[in-house]
Structure 1
Amino acid sequence: MSKTKAVLCGYYGKGNGGDEALLMTLLQMLPETVEPIVLSANPKATQKFYGVASCNRTSAFSLLQALKISDIFIWGGGSLMQDATSFTSPVYYAGLMALAQQRGLKTIAWAQGIGPLNRSFSRWLTRQVLSGCTAISVRDRASAELLTNWNFTPLVAPDPVWALESSAVSGLWDLPAPRVAVTLRSHLLLTPQRLQTLTKALIEFQAATQCFILLVPFQQSQDLAIAKQIAAQLKNCSQIITTQNPKELKGIFRGVEMAIGMRLHSLIMAAAEECRCFALSYDPKVTQLMEELDLPGWELAHLPEAASTISMAWLENYTNAEALDKTRIESLIDRALLHQELLINSIN
């Protein structure tokens, strides 16, 4: 019996740890009867690492061939439909879904974070393609409320990465303890002045706790330069730690006492591994997670100007805060698996 072929569409092959974690989780959740074809910016690397068929996400010929031989098209998690960072992003993703629908493929919007959609055209485009979907799941309350206002009834469940298994990281436990992980990314809100303030706060925090700082670039093209800049000022009490394996990326947080993070999936991974978290929000999706999990933190736009204020807040969290309890983590994982049920029910 031939397998059902499904095109998986997301921000894959760009070296972003969070999006690769979503891809790995999606591949784990797909029924065994499905043969995936992953659209990727680096199809050779994707095919080699995941052991699945992959094609170039920007090659019109490859895209048309993949759609021609497939039965299903899946938006594979993340904030694909948003125009805050790029107007071309929603046009690209909606355009592919519309083309798949035109060709008669079953389409699924899986584990989506919808928005921000600042332009009326982006909102119209999103509604149009979602109206043709067989199934829709979203990962946060704000996305669910938006779609409900548009008369959709999406499945609402936590981000699938909650359910991703973690793997041990070689050499992690040989590093000095206690350990604190820091994940910062390049962004307009992370101005040079704010980065310097955060670095100074880290120096003060490290001196007070004698912790070892792990600098974790989730996307090296955006994060590595920042990590190197901080490491240069933390001298011998820090290390940059990188991995292309999403399971290992999540596993890093097994061995740390606290995580200070900008990136959404760094906070999800840390919380899932029973790590205390402190958020620095640059995006509504991070703010929503802070609210849902009651995480301490700041909007970057309102970051205190005094490094001592920041370091004292980190010290308070490090000393007195508690990680999510196991019961709540298990509940989040169980609910994240609803995304898998949606796939099974929609595909079979």
Structure 2
Amino acid sequence: MQKRRIAILGSTGSIGTQTLEVIKANPQHFEVEVLTAQNNAALLIEQSIEFKPNCVVIANESLYDKVFTALDGHGIKVYTGTAALSAVVQMETIDIVLTALVGYVGLLPTIKAIEAGKHIALANKETLVVAGELITKLAAEKGINIFPVDSEHSAIFQCLVGEFHNPIEKIILTASGGPFRGKKYHELTNISKSQALKHPNWVMGAKITIDSASLMNKGLEVIEAKWLFSLKPEQIEVIVHPQSIVHSLVQFEDGSIKAQMGLPDMKLPIQFAIGFPNRLKSDFPRFDFTKYPNLTFEQPDTETFRNLQLAFEAMTKGGNSPCVLNAANEVAVAAFLEDKIGFLQMSDLIETCLSKIPFINHPGLDDYIKTDEETRKLAYTLI
């Protein structure tokens, strides 16, 4: 396997740091070409000195001097601003761009990377939620691959290896159910952000952890799966699996089901994405069936956790509806984390935005940008 040069967008976040752990364990296969961060200058500096990338980007321009001064003399180029994210991904020396940015901000850099012919390891699900049709069409035109990093989509991808010629009957995305699994609507009235940030199985950033608690994360994954695997809405099912051992399943037209299983560890899907088609040897903890004698499954409660139903509805409607869903959710989660709205009010806010923002059936990039702006403006007004 030829050594691959990796650009990591969002290297200081949960996915970014775990990607660097994978690269550190496989120096014969990977090297770091680009690292980027929004605000965590201290960690970006530390990572840069250890991994010696060609260049780094600190998106927050007020932190440029700090990063530049610290890396001066290390032979590392330093850039700043959000526009720099879209510029560095086009560097000829990059083989794979791993997009671990959180939210809508990942869209434009991903587009620019695809336009430059870079393969994508996608951890930024919002890119396909917002503009799935545009992204998948562009990737096909450029002949590049989008390798999923989310554990659920990686599971589907792994189940499909060797099966690409066989039609899918349906896929089944598993969900842990989050910290409030089993609770009813009235029990969630006074949920605090500290309660919502305690995920039972995964260690993640604040935004995705809140999304998991509200089941919006699964809703976003449903929309992402539609585009990654060219599915119809009726071919996607969600099942709650509290143990998070079965990461997702594929059912084929003969009725056979394939599942990908393993301990909850994001380093495995990260390594599979950047190392594909090779399965690289690892020292990740191994699954022991005797420690998990019971694997259980149950239907999601979409009456209590309305975000999942809203996501299915937005996916089915299509057009710019998923873009509205995503923008409203990003504002809602931020407001919840700032104690401006309650846990249940997040769904109210998203539903109102979906009903009020004008529908566009076949949006282009400018339409997505305008829809995102208008939705955020409306959401802030409602708050």
TM bucket by the smaller chain? 0.3 to 0.5
TM-score (norm 2): 0.37
Higher RCO (C-alpha under 8 Å, 6+ residues apart):
1
